[in-house]
A and B are shown apart, each in its own frame.
Chain A
Amino acid sequence: MDYTILVGGAAGQGLDTFANIMEKIIKRCGYHVFTYRDYMSRVRGGHNFVQIRFSDKEIYSFKDKLDLILALNKESYILHKERLKADGVIISHEELDEERHIKLPIDEIKKKIKNHKVLNTVGMGVILKYFGLPLNTGREVLESVIRKKYIEDNIIALTEGYNLIESKYELPVEKDEKIIINGNNALALGAIAAGCKLYCGYPMTPSTSLLTYISSKSNEMGIVVDQVEDEIAALNMALGASYAGVRAMTASSGGGFALMVEALSFAGILEVPIVIVNAQRVGPATGMATRTEQSDLRFVIHAGHGEFPRMVIALRDPEDAFYQTARAFNIADKYQIPVIILTDLYLADYSKTIKPFDYNRISIKRYIDREVKGKYKKYEITDSGISKRIIPGKIEGQIVIGDSHEHDEYGHITEDPDLRTEMVLKRMRKLEGLKEELEEPWLIGDKEPEYLIVCWGSTYGAVKEAVDRLNEEGISVGALVFGDIWPFPTKQLMNIGEKAKAIIDVEQNATAQLDSIIREETPFEADYKILKFNGRPFNGDEVYNRIKSIFNEK
């Protein structure tokens, strides 16, 4: 079983609330859920929609075809009717010239209640009944989410909707042991689990929900959240906090990250650990504020003047977001470097059911020294390139000088050419350690595939579904899905690339940035590129079709 519900309407019609409640109800019934959100950049009006897909098997992506449309306005019906399956239904209060229409008698229902904003809840009741899901679960979730004064009306509305039709499906209720979470919340939970104590940022879609979520837990978890005047302040402020000894993070989207570039270079020479998130959206400049893209990869790898080590980690799904974020703090602390986390609007916003995070898997390693012998040297030259780190103010007689100039071991300005060379080498030696630290890309599908797909970050889900389908058809396909992406891990690719007949690069950008890294760092180059840059994410169907069309061309 595998069903998809679409709800569509204008901004301001409450789609978000609907989706949050609906996905939770279905999850509570024991199903795997995947919710994809498509919003315009406006506060009111326009057209937004949400697709909730659920199944008894794990889901990694959204589908093209729909089983049910809840149209909060006529436009939603017109825009999406083509995608409705022949046996699907449309639920709407609007007059539609459509056989599959279940009309909501909203005016009659409104007569029975005080609050009139219940259209969505009536639709929710209809949907539950249509799939044969229990009304009770719906009621429980509603009661837990909605403000008290609105509960009564909404329960009436839900029940009215529920009683409106006969069930088409009778879905069994299974035990529910999962959580449902989007990428940004998972990332935020990872940061909180890792002990992040200062988070600062400037609102910018799609990074804002990180700021909002962490802010909502600020008092409970003892985290300072500062809405800064601009992104230049953001990274500088986070560096100050980290220098003073707490784990700190900042986030933005590409345009805000662009303003952090100077301070990123500062982090490089300062050797103060920091985690920075770039939740990518469509560029250049303002681009498309509420649409997705993966076009900042080379930018974040090369951002900043001068040369210094950094690590770049691309997040692949909400589960990965949680664990990689926690790991990012450890790596930043271990090497005293900036670690950049790349996510994107698609992953930030889609929610998915997963196993609850295993907090026992998270260890916090700070690499902080509590005592030193002799005079402390912030930039002591060592074999690993890593100098001892102490917290300013914690050891009597010791001071910590962080410096943006080239400096000597104590952090004092120098212009000495030999010391300069030593310091550059010291910093760059950290890359050797980092390379050992790298996790190879996930290998999915065939272990020795004829066709090797390469991709990174949030395209994982769509590629995974496509590879599974192709494997089922007996086609030898495998995919390497890069998470750690700079320094670039090459071992798996070298092994598998050697034997593959062709390499297919799948990316959400126009210039195939991963392919350029592969050319640079390995002897390979992609034979085919499947690129998408219209602001909409890949899904499993599209990747499958486009891989198929490569085979057909041959």
Chain B
Amino acid sequence: MDYSLIVGGEAGQGMDTFASLFEKAIKRCGYNVYAYSDYMSRIRGGHNFFNIRFSTENILAIKDNIDILFALNEETVQIHKDKVKDTGIIIADEAVAKEDNSIIHLKLSEIAKKLNNKRVANTVGLGAILNYFGVPMDIAAKIIKEEFKEEIADVNLKALEEGYKLLDTKYNLQIREDDKILINGNEAVGLGAIAAGCKFYCGYPMTPSTGVLTYIAKHANEYNIVVDQVEDEVAALNMALGASYAGVRAMTGSSGGGFALMVEALSLAGIIEVPVVVINVQRPGPATGFPTRTEQADLRFMIHAGHGEFPRMVMALRDTEDAFYQTVRAFNIAEKYNIPVLLLSDQHLADGVTSKKPFDLKNIKIERHIKRHIEGEYKTYEFTETGVSPRIIPGKIEGATVLVDSDEHDEYGHITESAEIRIKMVDKRLKKFELLKDEVKEPWHVGDEEPENLVVCWGSTYGAVKEAVENLSDEGVSIAALVFGDIWPFPTRKLLSLSKKAKKIIDIEQNATGQLDSLMRQEALIQSDYKILKYDGRPFTADEVYRRIKEVI
């Protein structure tokens, strides 16, 4: 089974509350849920909608067609009508598009008025739709009690009950065991950072990264985390580096435009060798671009950002589960090598809600690589075999001081202009990059072991590609996908071995220039035969990927 619902209307019409209640009710019935929110960059008006899909399968993308459209205004009907399957329905309040016979009009606002609270109309609709899918009322009622404040819980319960009477049950969902959590990408990153012991997070609000800032801020007091809303992104990374230098795990995040302001300090992180984690939650650029939409156009930018040469690691996040574990790992790697680790997410992943197995915090390790004792005089930049110098915390060892310096420096951190020391320091820093090459994980391999058609992609396109590849595989097409997570240094082993046998390489990316393809040419001397690119600000659906692969093979 596999159903989709769209709820749409203007900003301010309460779709997000409806969506989160509906998602939760479905999940509690034991189903997998994927929800994507499509919103405009405005506070009131415009057209926003949620596309909520649920299934017994592990789904990570939306479908083109839907089973039910819940329209909060007439515009929603016009925009999404064509997506409704023949077996599907459109429901709306009586007042919406009165003349349109294709709509099942319900007395949502009338009931709300009777309950003396106009704002519960959506809850009436929720009841109707839940009953349509056969979701038991007690499950929904419990969620209402959990989510609403006491003073309005009752009226919402009544509204729900009234709603249950409005539509007959069409699909009788079987109740399965619910062992999942429902989480979006930004929350998963925030949770990962907290689990990893991040104690300092600073940032400047910028869509779609603000969710990370908000999530961590919400739990800041409970977990002794300083959350600082800074004056600008230039301050953000510099401040995080200060906190990390002083010994706590620190992180900052933004979207591409804010990351652009961190570029100078990224280079600073490179030369002072202070660990830090930075997330770029991408949106379409250039400049302000599309604030509330998705794109994967900052890959090469992240890899090359910063003047001068220094080691860094770039990880693209593939789904919410990956977002959690990779964030934790990012902190460990940053501290193992004293380098900046950059996380690449995007609006699609950041806002997409997925049901996942609860994260396994028992198996997470925090590895800090900090020395509590030293012999002799401390050297921040001591030359070692690995290029990694022992790290101590300033103020913790009497008689030992820690000097970090943005100039080229000697082992103690003092400015130098010596040509010989310069070479040794560059070599020392770049040695760490060689070690990172062993640290990177090969891409996920989805589909056939030795495919004729090899799809390559990275980050959040994972969900759509996985589903498309599995469907094609089921049809007997020899196909597989490599989905890159760790992407710089670029892991080449799997790509080299699969590409040898593949007849066609198909690059799928959410950008206009095929940035992964350029990396493959550069690092593996392999070029894709076809590129499936999308840059209209909307995420790939599984259907679209399926169709477009079909076209090229």
Contacts and interface: CB of A to CB of B under 8 A. Distances in A.
A–B contact (CB under 8 angstroms): yes
A40 interface: yes
A509 B305 CA distance: 16
Interface stretch (B87-95, B460-468, B532-540): B532-540
B41 interface: yes
Contacts of A284: 267-268, 270-271, 306-310
Interface string B79-121: 0000000000000000000000000000000000000000000
A303 B263 contact: yes
B231 to A, nearest CB: 13
B169 interface: no
A424 B284 CA distance: 10
Q: What band does the interface of chain B fall in when counting residues whose beta carbon is under 8 Å from A?
A: 35 or more
A99 to B, nearest CB: 29
Interface residues of A, number: 68
Interface string B260-288: 11011011101110000000101011111
Contact of A262 (B261, B271, B405): B261
Interface in A20-34: none
Contacts of A412: none
A136 to B, nearest CB: 40
A220 interface: no
Nearest to A306: B285
B290 A415 contact: yes
A511 interface: yes
A488 B62 CA distance: 39
7 contacts: A258-B307, A285-B272, A303-B260, A306-B286, A425-B512, A428-B513, A533-B423
B260 A305 contact: yes
Nearest to B518: A520
Given A295-B308, A421-B535, A534 B270 contact: no
A261 B260 contact: yes
B303 A406 contact: no
B419 A535 contact: yes
A306 B304 contact: no
A291 B289 contact: no
B297 to A, nearest CB: 5
B403 interface: no
B406 interface: yes
Given A285-B271, A404-B288, A517-B522, 16 more contacts: A254-B267, A255-B264, A258-B306, A269-B286, A280-B307, A287-B308, A287-B407, A288-B422, A290-B417, A295-B307, A306-B295, A307-B535, A404-B289, A421-B536, A424-B535, A520-B518
A450 interface: no
A417 B541 CA distance: 14
Contact of A266 (B255, B287, B300, B426): B287
B257 interface: yes
Interface in A299-349: 299, 301-308
In this complex, the member of B280, B422, B521 whose beta carbon has the largest number of chain A beta carbons within 10 angstroms is B422
B417 A41 contact: yes
A424 B417 CA distance: 45
Given A255-B264, A525-B525, A295 B309 contact: yes
Interface string A56-70: 000000000000000
A533 B270 contact: no
B298 interface: yes
B75 interface: no
B309 A510 contact: yes
B259 interface: yes
In this complex, the member of A264, A290, A298 whose beta carbon has the largest number of chain B beta carbons within 10 angstroms is A298
B244 interface: no
B148 interface: no
The 4 A-B pairs with the shortest beta carbon distances in the complex, nearest first, are A306-B285, A283-B308, A305-B256, A254-B307
Contacts of A41: 417
Contacts of A303: 260, 263, 301, 304-305
B511 A307 contact: yes
Given A285-B406, A303-B263, A406 B284 contact: yes
Given A283-B308, A305-B297, A307-B512, A534 B423 contact: yes
Given A303-B305, A533-B426, A404 B536 contact: no
Contacts of A510: 309, 426-427, 430
A25 B536 CA distance: 63
Contact of A289 (B266, B309, B407): B407
Contact of B260 (A270, A291, A304): A304
Contacts of A298: 304
Nearest to A425: B512
Nearest to B272: A285
A285 B274 CA distance: 13
A259 B307 contact: no
Interface in A234-270: 253-255, 257-259, 261-262, 264-266, 268-270
A286 interface: yes
